[in-house]
Amino acid sequence: MQEVADQAQVSIATVSRVLSGTRGNVALETTRKAWKIACGLGYQPCKSAMHVTVQDQSENSAHPSEGNG
């Protein structure tokens, strides 16, 4: 997670929330960036976390997050 956080320029806590599927107030752009980096590094998410994250993204597409990412 540290490498993802470093490359995305966010905290480990933010990466943890994104990858676990509990985005909270993490901005959608930050979520996408963290996932892209994690996937590029070969991160293999559990299916339940991916489902929650994908669901969160579709729900927030009409209402962008106001989080600080």
Establish if 14 belongs to a structural domain.
Answer: yes
- Block residue for tokens 């676990």: 20
Q: What is the pLDDT of residue 65?
A: 45
Q: What is the pLDDT of residue 66?
A: 44
Report which DSSP code applies to 43. Answer: -
Containing 1, the helix (H) or strand (E) segment is none
Predicted local confidence at residue 44, as pLDDT: 78
- For residue 53, the domain's CATH number is 1.10.260
Is 56 a domain residue?
Answer: yes
CA angle 32, 1, 41 (to 5 degrees): 65
In a domain, 27, yes or no: yes
Burial of 30 (0-12, 13-18, 19+ CB in 10 A): buried
Domain count along the chain: 1
Q: Is residue 66 part of a domain?
A: no
> What domain range includes position 40?
2-60
Residue 65, in any domain of the structure: no
- Consecutive H or E run containing 53: helix 47-60
Residues of the chain predicted below pLDDT 50: 52-54, 57, 60-68
